[in-house]
């Protein structure tokens, strides 16, 4: 790892951490119902949506009502997106005459975008019409992200409220999240991306004359090349900011029309974790103690930095097998050095590895390099960040409430150590809260490991593996870890657009999203009904460095105990084999 790599990592961290406080404070005002003066221009849009939907924003909901509203809304979006894909060949804004999407792929994609996972088993420019991309996928990018943020806001109210039967209004929380947070940020980012050359048009695909003679799949020289276009910038902005990750084009953010320049790359990379990190300050602000938010952000960052360093160092270190052959893999003015397989030369090693770490830490899933081509340890980094339950920044809203589940477990264990009823933010943590926290923490690993076991044991699952041995196992493990934790990125070597994988990965996404959100809402309802416990000499401070490192230990320990045996069969075994070949 050279000085240039260190500088890129340092600048990346410094920029998004500097945005945490102002953006986090702004979002706290939004979820507390106080619209800042700078955003009041959007108030008519908020009121219009309430009237259109017949919503009374001041009507409070119990946790059961809140959960029912969320599930019903997501179910409606899921069915609408499925129908849109199946009928796109009969609908307008389809200049390239895209056919109807197959039933199994439509099922998988509908669940994927409704759950904020954005796993893609298809190529966007060869499968989806402009209408499907805009009305289906982009809309779900907004509302699925806002739904996760709404659950986060409800959980915070559970800690703040005293002897209350309600935790807020789902419709108001979701609409405010879209109107005041996601929409303006996405509009600004989309304009910036267009200025860098990201395509935004409704024109049909362009045709270009061939400069070099080539042959198509039938061995015939084509007369011209078709260049895919479309309204990409508007979808890319929200895919990054909402930790969605679904690419307009199949190559995702490695495609020059999605990510053409180093500046567009930097903007998109910062957007990956911007809202998720800032929500930690929102949590502290709404809870009345900003130190609590800083503590959670510190825990996330302490986990992130070593893994980021390992990823960059592993990719910059290159392939030992090449070194044994005398290949020069050192960074120099005339070459990037390291492992450049699967990476764009316009971004290089550090930017590609930072993106890989950030996109999997943030539950985003977009890529600017192919993770399947990373070194074994370089590929281990994004896989490990996914398998830490996507709580290292995580998805917008979902990452924060996932980390709060771990914080609840941490204070419970600390309470057991000193023989005292545990408390967190003035609320006693009792058996019900621990049951909900345990379900929320264990559901995703169960989906990931069970799905991996079924796929590895079935002929249909093994048929999708393009690389035998440990790397092939890593492809399966990564896919189910990604879907169960709502990330969406993939080891590209797995052929997953089959009825088997579309169905099984779809179920992993469904349970991995809702079987965590529902326990979180149940916990919010239980906490809201409780009295506040006065702080005393026996109260565990949850904003100190001691608690931060205890929380980090809990997250790492749970992740290691759950996934280390599987990782040993995949990337760790592959690394040892590669090191042996290089010696």
Give DSSP secondary structure letters for 3-22. Answer: HHHHHHHHHHHHHHHHTHHH
Q: Please list, residue by residue across 420-457, b when 16 or more beta carbons sit within 10 angstroms of its beta carbon and e when fewer do.
A: eebbbbbbebeeebbebbebbbebbbbbbbbbbeebbe
Start-to-end Cα distance in the chain: 21
CB 45 within 8 A of CB 52: no
Confidence band of 215 (pLDDT split at 50, 70, 90): confident
- The pLDDT, as a whole number, for residue 581 is 62
The dihedral over CA atoms of 252, 257, 262, 267, expressed in degrees to the nearest 10, equals -70
Phi, psi of 438 (to 5 degrees): -65, -45
Report percent pLDDT > 70 for the chain. Answer: 99
Report percent pLDDT > 90 for the chain. Answer: 83
Q: Give the integer Cα–Cα distance in Å for 299 and 278.
A: 14
- CA-wise closest residue to 112 among 499, 515, 485, 493: 485
- CA-wise closest residue to 245 among 48, 353, 396: 396
What secondary structure does DSSP assign to 92-132, as a single string?
A: SS-TT-PPPPPHHHHHHHHHHHHTT----SS-HHHH--HHI
β-pair type (423-424, 427-428): antiparallel
Residues in a beta bridge with 231: 200
Mean pLDDT of the chain: 93
* CA distance readout (Å), 99 to 84, 203, 396, 547: 12, 18, 33, 55
Q: Give the integer Cα–Cα distance in Å for 527 and 165.
A: 10
Each as own residue / partner, the long-range contacts of residues 420-424 (CB below 8 Å, 24 or more positions apart, any chain) are: 420/538, 422/540, 423/533, 423/539, 423/540, 424/159, 424/542
Whether the model clears a pTM of 0.85, i.e. scores above it, the answer is yes
- The pLDDT, as a whole number, for residue 186 is 97
424: three-class secondary structure by DSSP: strand
Residue with tokens 């703040």: 160
What is the mean predicted confidence (pLDDT) over 156-181?
96
What is the mean predicted confidence (pLDDT) over 20-25?
97
Residue 209 pLDDT greater than 90, yes or no? no
Confidence band of 416 (pLDDT split at 50, 70, 90): confident
- The pLDDT, as a whole number, for residue 155 is 97
Residue 179 pLDDT greater than 60, yes or no? yes
pLDDT in tens, 301-353: 999 999 999 999 999 988 887 777 778 788 877 778 888 989 998 899 999 99
By mean pLDDT, which of 85-99, 213-227, 335-349 is the weakest? 213-227
What is the mean predicted confidence (pLDDT) over 502-510?
96
Confidence band of 218 (pLDDT split at 50, 70, 90): confident
CB 158 within 8 A of CB 527: yes
- Residue 340 sits at the vertex; the CA angle it makes with 337 and 345, to the nearest 5 degrees, is 90
Q: Give the integer Cα–Cα distance in Å for 35 and 16.
A: 23
Helix (H), strand (E), coil (C) string for 517-544: HHHHHHHHHHHHCCCCCCCCCCCCCCCC
What is the mean predicted confidence (pLDDT) over 382-390?
94
pLDDT in tens, 431-442: 999 999 999 999
- The pLDDT, as a whole number, for residue 1 is 73
Name which residue leads in pLDDT, 397 or 320. 397
What is the mean predicted confidence (pLDDT) over 444-457?
96
* CA distance readout (Å), 393 to 146, 218, 293, 483: 16, 47, 12, 17
Phi, psi of 200 (to 5 degrees): -150, 95
What is the mean predicted confidence (pLDDT) over 566-573?
92
- The pLDDT, as a whole number, for residue 582 is 54
Residue 583 pLDDT greater than 60, yes or no? no
The dihedral over CA atoms of 173, 192, 128, 134, expressed in degrees to the nearest 10, equals 40
Where along the chain do its domains lie? 3-213+224-582
As given in the structure block, the two tokens for residue 61 are: 């909901």
Q: Give the integer Cα–Cα distance in Å for 407 and 578.
A: 38
- The pLDDT, as a whole number, for residue 319 is 81
pLDDT in tens, 276-304: 999 999 999 999 999 999 999 999 999 99
């Amino acid at each position: 790892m050279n000085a240039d790599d260190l500088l890129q990592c340092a600048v990346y961290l410094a920029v998004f951490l500097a945005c945490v406080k102002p953006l986090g404070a702004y979002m706290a005002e939004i979820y507390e119902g106080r619209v800042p003066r700078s955003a009041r221009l959007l108030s008519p849009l908020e009121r219009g949506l309430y009237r259109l939907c017949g919503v009374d924003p001041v009507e409070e909901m119990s946790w059961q009502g809140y959960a029912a509203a969320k599930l019903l809304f997501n179910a409606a979006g899921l069915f609408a997106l499925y129908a849109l894909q199946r009928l796109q060949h009969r609908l307008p804004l389809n200049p390239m005459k895209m056919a109807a999407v197959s039933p199994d792929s439509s099922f998988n994609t509908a669940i994927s975008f409704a759950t904020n996972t954005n796993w893609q088993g298809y190529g966007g420019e060869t499968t989806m019409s402009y209408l499907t991309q805009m009305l289906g996928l982009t809309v779900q990018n907004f509302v699925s992200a806002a739904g996760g943020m709404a659950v986060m806001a409800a959980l915070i109210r559970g800690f703040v409220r005293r002897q209350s039967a309600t935790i807020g209004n789902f419709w108001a929380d979701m609409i405010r999240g879209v109107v005041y947070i996601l929409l303006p940020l996405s509009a600004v980012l989309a304009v910036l991306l267009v200025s860098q050359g990201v395509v935004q048009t409704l024109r049909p695909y362009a045709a270009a004359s061939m400069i070099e003679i080539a042959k198509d799949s039938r061995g015939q020289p084509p007369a011209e090349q078709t260049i895919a276009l479309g309204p990409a910038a508007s979808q890319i902005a929200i895919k990054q900011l909402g930790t969605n990750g679904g690419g307009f084009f199949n190559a995702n953010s490695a495609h020059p029309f999605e990510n053409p320049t180093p500046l567009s790359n930097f903007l998109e990379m910062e957007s990956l974790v911007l809202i998720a990190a800032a929500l930690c300050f929102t949590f502290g602000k709404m809870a009345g103690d900003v130190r609590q938010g800083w503590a959670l952000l510190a825990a996330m960052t302490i986990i992130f930095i070593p893994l980021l360093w390992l990823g960059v160092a592993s990719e910059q270190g290159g392939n030992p097998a090449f070194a044994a052959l005398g290949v020069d893999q050192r960074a120099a003015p005339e070459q990037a050095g390291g492992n450049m397989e699967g990476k764009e030369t316009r971004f290089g090693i550090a930017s590609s590895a930072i993106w890989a770490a950030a996109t999997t830490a943030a539950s985003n899933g977009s890529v600017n390099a192919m993770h399947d081509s990373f070194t074994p340890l370089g590929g281990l980094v994004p896989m490990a960040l996914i398998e830490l339950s996507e709580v290292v920044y995580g998805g917008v809203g979902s990452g924060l409430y996932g980390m709060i589940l771990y914080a609840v477990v941490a204070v419970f264990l600390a309470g057991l150590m000193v023989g005292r009823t545990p408390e967190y933010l003035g609320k006693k943590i009792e058996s019900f809260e621990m049951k909900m926290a345990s379900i929320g923490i264990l559901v995703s690993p169960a989906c990931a490991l069970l799905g991996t076991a079924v796929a590895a044991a079935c002929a249909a699952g093994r048929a999708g593996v393009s690389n035998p041995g440990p790397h092939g196992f890593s492809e399966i493990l990564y896919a189910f870890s990604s879907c169960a934790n709502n990330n969406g990125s993939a080891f590209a070597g797995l052929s997953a657009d089959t009825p088997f994988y579309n169905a099984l990965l779809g179920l992993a996404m469904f349970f991995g999203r809702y079987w965590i959100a529902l326990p979180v809402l149940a916990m919010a309802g239980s906490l809201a009904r409780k009295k506040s416990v006065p702080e005393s000499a026996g109260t565990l401070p949850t904003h100190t460095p001691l608690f931060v490192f205890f929380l980090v230990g809990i997250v790492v320990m749970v992740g290691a105990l759950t996934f280390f045996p599987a990782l040993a069969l995949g990337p760790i075994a592959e690394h040892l084999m590669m090191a042996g070949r290089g010696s």
